[in-house]
């Protein structure tokens, strides 16, 4: 290759720094809500439903508080507050249920459909509960 060992070492070090830079830019936890997220559980085996588009904007416009969805429990108390970094749901909710933590799919369904259903029962405007309204094939 014609590279001296020193050159090669410098090249490798540069590559590592570049990769760390990329991870640094995307790997840290965020505090600001993205407008729209594509929710996609890394299911074992093949997916049964198309992934779900979730709009922070729609929910913010409807005055749904951040703490309705984001939490960090100490005992029974949610100590997470707006402005603090947000951990992804899958950080705590795995593919299998664990202790009092629901598995990821049920965590999403309980939270998303749960609220939509509650609001409907109260006769208020709510999001969908039909499968294909959330799992939209594109």
Pairing of strands 52-55, 73-74: unpaired
Does 97 sit near ligand HEC (CB under 6 A)?
A: no
Q: Nearer to ligand HEC by C-beta: 7 or 81?
A: 81
Does 98 sit near ligand HEC (CB under 6 A)?
A: no
Cβ-Cβ contacts under 8 Å for 44 (sequence gap 6 or more): 95
Cβ-Cβ contacts under 8 Å for 125 (sequence gap 6 or more): 62, 119
Does 84 sit near ligand HEC (CB under 6 A)?
A: no
Does 56 sit near ligand HEC (CB under 6 A)?
A: yes
Length of the chain measured in residues: 138
What residues numbered 106-125 form the site for ligand HEC, per CB under 6 A? 107-113, 115-116, 119, 125
Does 131 sit near ligand HEC (CB under 6 A)?
A: yes
For ligand HEC, which residue has the nearest CB?
Answer: 127
Cβ-Cβ contacts under 8 Å for 69 (sequence gap 6 or more): 59, 111
Distance in Å, CB of 2 to ligand HEC, minimum: 43
Percent helix, strand and coil across the chain, each to the nearest 5: 40, 10, 45
Distance in Å, CB of 138 to ligand HEC, minimum: 12
**103 vs 96: CA distance, rounded Å:** 5
Binding residues for ligand HEC (CB under 6 A): 29-34, 37, 39-41, 43, 47-49, 51-52, 54-56, 58-60, 62, 64, 66, 68-73, 82, 86-93, 100-102, 105, 107-113, 115-116, 119, 125-131, 133-135
């Amino acid at each position: 290759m014609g590279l001296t060992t020193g050159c090669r070492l410098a090249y490798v070090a540069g590559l590592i720094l570049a990769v760390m830079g990329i991870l640094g830019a995307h790997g840290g936890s965020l505090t600001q809500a993205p407008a729209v997220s594509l929710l996609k559980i890394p299911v074992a085996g093949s997916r049964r439903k198309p992934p779900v588009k979730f709009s922070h904007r729609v929910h913010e416009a409807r005055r749904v508080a951040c703490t309705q969805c984001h939490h960090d429990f100490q005992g029974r108390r949610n100590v997470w507050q707006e402005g603090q970094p947000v951990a992804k749901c899958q950080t705590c909710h795995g593919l299998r249920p664990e202790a009092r933590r629901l598995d990821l799919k049920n965590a999403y369904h309980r939270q998303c459909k749960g609220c939509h259903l509650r609001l409907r029962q109260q006769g208020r405007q709510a999001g969908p509960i039909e499968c294909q309204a959330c799992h939209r094939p594109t």
